[in-house]
Chains A and B, each alone.
Chain A
Amino acid sequence: MANPATNPLVACDNVGLTFPGPVQALDGTSFQLQRGELVSVVGPSGCGKSTLLRLIAGLIANTSGSLQIAGQSAMEARRHGLHIGFVFQDATLLPWRTIQDNIRLPLELLRVPRSEHAPRIREALELVGLLDFARALPNQLSGGMRMRAALVRALITRPELLLLDEPFGALDEITRQRLNEDLLALWQSQKWSGVFITHNVYEAVFLSQRVLVMSPRPGKLIADVPIPFEFPRTPELRGTAEFAKLAAEVSSLLRRISS
């Protein structure tokens, strides 16, 4: 047995998924996610990025290859107490629940004792500056605030693995950049491992330690670009020549596969 500390948290080995039809959604995808690592996956829309994320979350099962999370299948890992957080493309807050009750939902579902709820929710709301909006309904908040609420809802269970499915795609550029910075700060203080799906190259380069590039139909990983910038990363990083060079490199990879 290898030492679990050096074991990857997520190990995909030649993972494929074919829907009956047959439609091949994902073809022979292999990559590893180390504990504490933050990785982005970029690719054109419809390339199977979301499918890959749902496989890791154990929401769907792969039809070929092997996908292991902490040495178990994705579904087993989740059922055996590995905490996963999932952030959807839009906030996906229950419209009939207030912000604090939306953030409470994972605690309720995992049957965390009631007495622990209030301090944890308070802490979560403080973290993203939503304390004043605890009792607001989702439709009373802006898109960026809703996404912040969705972010801390995913983090309230203190997950080991955070999966983000193009979470900031619908936001304006300034809000998106601010949320990128918030997300990085949360990652540095809480030390979860993360897979971040996006089609925005700049976002991918800014956020992650590695950028995986995916080609469409069937989805396949074609490149693994390391991003060597130090943490903490500041907004100024976006203006540097090295940042532009890496972003251009990933962009040209993407252009090549879509032509």
Chain B
Amino acid sequence: MRSTLWKGIQWLGPPLGLFVIVLIGWQLATSLFRVPAYLFPSPWMVFQAAQEKRQELLQALWITGSAASLGFLSSLCAGFVISLAFSQSPLIRRSCYPYAIFLQTVPIVAIAPLIINWFGFGFRSVVIVSFMIGLFPIITNTTTGMLAVDRRFLELFEIYNASRWQLLWKLRVPNCVPFLVAGAKTSSGLSVIGAIVGEFFVGFGSDSHGLGYYIMLSSGQLKTDVLFAAVLTCTLLGLSVFVLVNLVSQLVLRRWNTL
């Protein structure tokens, strides 16, 4: 019991210590040099703004969190299905891969007008941006996992005249799980970024006043303390998604740890 506590302190101590030091330095610097609050608010002001706007920020956190989760889950499902197709034929892979790369490399700003044209401003469009940004890592990782099957496993299945279907569901799909999990880790983070960035560009519907919207709004109004509070809330969202996905991945990978 004591030793786990000690371990916890050893783990959390250094980053927490640094956090406190930075906080104090920041507070001192802003009050010593009289930095204007619209340029760089002190931590105390950020804290006060967060307290004052707690209701709105929590609401925004919920909206952005939902958009990111929906975007992430749909990229997980779609990415998996696309990888199933990719694993079945080199022709499909070769024909579709350039478009998957297009999806990865095209700046969201460039297609934001298109998304707005098709789906309007609002929550739905934010989910679509989050989905598009999260999709690519799932496709590449999962496809790799389905193809990176040990040759001897393929021979084993061949010995028993396994059908393409059996090969897919009993070998390729289970084999790709660790890769899928790795892809999901990357993709979950990207989906959060996608949702926030999406809110910058397409999130002006009344149903999508998420964190991204808040950041834009408070930046325009020079309410830098609110802006900081919103950014911190984004970090909180990203952090909780990271922790959640890592927990799930550890549960799933327990069975795959010999690979």
Contacts and interface: CB of A to CB of B under 8 A. Distances in A.
Interface string A139-174: 100000000000000000100000000000000000
B166 A109 contact: yes
Interface in A105-157: 105-106, 108-110, 137-139, 157
Contacts of B157: 109
A139 B256 CA distance: 9
Nearest to A54: B155
Interface in A60-100: 78-79, 84-86, 88-89, 92, 94-97
B159 interface: yes
Interface residues of A, number: 24
Interface residues of B, number: 21
Contact of B161 (A78, A86, A95, A138): A78
B160 A109 contact: yes
B164 interface: no
Contacts of A84: 159
A57 interface: yes
Interface in B134-180: 150, 152-153, 155-162, 166, 170-171, 174, 177
B257 interface: yes
A108 B152 CA distance: 18
A96 B150 CA distance: 14
A79 B159 CA distance: 9
A105 B174 CA distance: 13
A109 B159 CA distance: 10
A59 B153 contact: no
B6 to A, nearest CB: 30
B258 A138 contact: yes
B255 interface: yes
B259 interface: yes
Contacts of B162: 109
Given A94-B153, A105-B170, A109-B166, A139 B257 contact: yes
Nearest to A57: B159
Given A105-B170, A109-B161, A109-B162, A92 B255 contact: no
A96 B255 contact: yes
Contact of B174 (A78, A94, A139): A94
A109 B166 CA distance: 7
Contacts of B257: 95, 139
Contact of B159 (A86, A96, A137, A139): A86
Contacts of A157: 160
Interface in B153-211: 153, 155-162, 166, 170-171, 174, 177
B156 A139 contact: no
Q: List the 9 shortest-distance A-B pairs measured between CB atoms, nearest first.
A: A109-B160, A139-B258, A95-B258, A92-B152, A109-B162, A86-B159, A96-B174, A96-B255, A88-B152
18 contacts: A57-B155, A59-B155, A59-B158, A78-B159, A79-B161, A86-B159, A88-B152, A89-B152, A92-B156, A94-B153, A94-B174, A108-B166, A108-B170, A109-B161, A109-B162, A109-B170, A110-B160, A137-B255
Interface of B: 150, 152-153, 155-162, 166, 170-171, 174, 177, 255-259
Given A59-B159, A94-B153, A157-B160, 7 more contacts: A57-B155, A59-B155, A85-B159, A96-B177, A97-B174, A105-B156, A109-B166
